[in-house]
Amino acid sequence: MLKRWSWERTQTFQHNLMTFPDLPDETTDGGRRYYTPIGWLPSVTTVLGEDSKNDIARWIAWKGEDEARKITDEAKLRGSAIHRLCEKYLLNEDLSAENRYYMDQFKVLQPILDKYVNRLIAIEAPLWSKRLEVAGRTDCIADWGNAPAIIDFKTSLKPKERNRIKHYFMQAACYSAMFEELTGIIVNKIVVVIAVDGAEPQIFIEERDDHLLDFINVRNKYKEKFQC
């Protein structure tokens, strides 16, 4: 007889949630953009994606278009599911009826969230910046240990090398800068948590100011290319 799978909440999180006005968004041929108080702005991921287009094109050529599309579609589904489960767990919602396949992947993240995440400050917060001229939604802002952090959840088929995920750090650094611009609250710590298929999760902890200038340089190249 097959054993029925089960799930148990092992932590209840404290909430001190900040709210932000929602930003309408749309996906165009040029990527995702958000409508902000100063007009349409490109998303952080669109700006960073433009910078890595050549690498993506080489990967597609290597894998072949059909295989690359299959891998990309599966990655999007897995990424969206893990993001949603992390969000619901941190919001103290019940996960017992969730899809077992994705719950098995989430369960390896659960002890990490229990151990390191304390006060929840914001989740899926829509942010924008007049100075950086970008917008986006940050996964999570919370106390990581005893200090507030921008926390980004990622998924991967295999472990990542730090020097291959600099765009993850730039993305989180940008969220930190946008959050500071909107609230006046400085969050220097950025944390990237990666759920890896068949392996232990990876945790990368960085300082915002080690990566913000890199993002600004990428954003300036984007502006020059598209005159925006």
Question: What are the pLDDT digits (tens) for 13-72?
Answer: 999 999 999 999 999 988 999 999 999 999 999 999 876 655 555 545 655 666 656 656
133, part of any domain = yes
Are the C-beta atoms of residues 173 and 129 closer than 8 Å to each other? no
132, part of any domain = yes
Q: What is the pLDDT of residue 226?
A: 82
Q: What is the pLDDT of residue 71?
A: 58
The total domain count for the chain is 1
d(CA 35, CA 172): 20
d(CA 194, CA 162): 12
CA dist 25 to 35, 83, 101, 127, Å?
6, 19, 30, 12
Local confidence band at 212 (pLDDT 50, 70, 90 cut-offs): very high
For the chain, the 3-state helix, strand and coil shares in percent, each to the nearest 5, are 45, 30, 30
Per the structure, the complete domain to which residue 157 belongs is given by: 32-226
180, part of any domain = yes
**Average pLDDT value for residue range 95-120:** 92
Q: Which pTM does this prediction carry?
A: 0.91
d(CA 103, CA 126): 26
How many Cβ atoms from other residues are within 10 Å of residue 35's Cβ?
A: 15
9, part of any domain = no
17, part of any domain = no
135, part of any domain = yes
Q: What is the CATH number of the domain that holds 112?
A: 3.90.320
Local confidence band at 3 (pLDDT 50, 70, 90 cut-offs): very low
By DSSP bridging, strand 39-42 and strand 147-156 are unpaired
Taking the CA atoms of residue 13, residue 198, residue 151 and residue 57 in that order, the dihedral angle to the nearest 10 degrees is -150
- With 0-12 / 13-18 / 19 or more C-beta atoms within 10 angstroms meaning exposed / middle / buried, residue 41 is buried
141, part of any domain = yes
Q: What is the pLDDT of residue 63?
A: 57
d(CA 227, CA 189): 32
Are the C-beta atoms of residues 17 and 123 closer than 8 Å to each other? yes
pLDDT tens for 139-174 read 999 999 999 999 999 999 899 999 999 999 999 999
